[in-house]
Amino acid sequence: MTTTDRPLRADAERNRQAIICAAGSVFAEEGTAVTLERIAAVAGVGVGTIYRRFSSVDELVSVVLEEKMRRYADRTEEAAVQAEAEPWEAFRDWVLYILEQQATDLAFSDVILSTDVGSELFQAEVRRAFRASVLLVNRARAAGAIRVDFDHSDLLMLQHANAGLIRGTHRSAPGAWRRLADYMLQSFRTSAEDLTAPPQAWRVR
């Protein structure tokens, strides 16, 4: 290794970290529907610098959100365990956690509603969280903590509704998601008239 190799490698690593930092900010504020050119502008590097390290926005999303997705899966598994002793508290707190994560990070909101974003490791965390959420719902429902006709796909419906809400209000009324959460949690707990069946395509088989 020559002495001239070291500063080049240090510069490359600084550029990489600048790209990841900029991407994290852009993704959180604007979601995943952005371009690498947009991220390059925020990072203060040429777009060619990004393309030398990341071939697509999806690849960059995987790097930026990989750790967050691991924590998301961990948190969901913890909720499923808690539901054995405290089914309502576990379910309620997990729902609030998910909705808050959507509200504070639009990229996270995008990827949990997508089935094909990210690396295999990234997708493995998504699948781990999904399995744990099914267990959480089953335990909460079996304990009578949520209505007997609650379907796991109701969580997907809630996340889609929250995603639309925060897209429209995250600048003007960033706390609006909390009122939606209160309404929905009350409805999930209370049985009243029969519900329309959930879409068949969303049902857990």
Give the CATH number for residue 18: 1.10.10.60
Residue 6 forms part of a structural domain: yes
Mean pLDDT of the chain: 87
| Residue 158 lies in domain | 61-192
Same-domain pairing of 27 and 79: no
Shared domain for 72 and 158, answered yes or no, is: yes
Residue 204 lies in a domain: no
Whether 205 is covered by a domain: the verdict is no
Report pLDDT for 162: 96
Same domain? 78 vs 175: yes
129 in the same domain as 69: yes
Residues 80, 117 share a domain? yes
In a domain, 138, yes or no: yes
Same domain, residue pair 181 and 88: yes
Residues 42 and 125 in one domain: no
Maximum distance among all alpha carbons in the chain? 76
Q: Vertex 43, ends 120 and 55: CA angle to 5°?
A: 35
Examine residue 197 and state whether it is found in any structural domain, yes or no: no
Which of 55, 79, 94 terminates a domain? The answer is 55
74 confidence band (pLDDT: 50, 70, 90): very high
Q: Report yes or no on 134 lying in a domain.
A: yes
Q: How many domains does the chain have?
A: 2
pLDDT tens figures, 116-139: 666 677 788 989 999 999 999 999
Q: Domain boundary at 37, 55, 73, which?
A: 55
Residue 199 lies in a domain: no
Q: What angle do CA 114, 176, 138 make, to 5 degrees?
A: 50
CB 104 within 8 A of CB 177: no
Indicate whether 161 and 79 sit together in one domain: yes
Say if residue 4's pLDDT is above 70: no
Query: What residues contact 115, with CB distance under 8 A and at least 6 apart?
Result: none
Which of 5-19, 34-48, 75-89 has the lowest average pLDDT?
5-19
Judged against a pLDDT cut of 70, whether residue 24 lies above it is answered with: yes
DSSP labels, the chain: --TTHHHHHHHHHHHHHHHHHHHHHHHHHH-S---HHHHHHHHTS-HHHHHTT-SSHHHHHHHHHHHHHHHHHHHHHHHHHHTTT-HHHHHHHHHHHHHHHHHH-HHHHHHTT-SS-S-HHHHHHHHHHHHHHHHHHHHHHHTTSS-TT--THHHHHHHHHHHHHHHHHTTT-TTHHHHHHHHHHHHHH---SPPPPPPGGGS--
Residues 41 and 110 in one domain: no
In a domain, 115, yes or no: yes
Q: Which of 36, 55, 74 is the last residue of a domain?
A: 55
pTM of the model: 0.81
> Do 123 and 174 belong to one domain?
yes
Q: Do 156 and 77 belong to one domain?
A: yes
pLDDT of residue 193: 65
Look at residue 1 and give its three-state secondary structure: coil
pLDDT of residue 1 exceeding 60: no
- Give the pLDDT confidence score for residue 3 in this predicted structure: 43
Q: Are residues 90 and 155 in the same domain?
A: yes
Residue 95 has pLDDT above 80, yes or no: yes
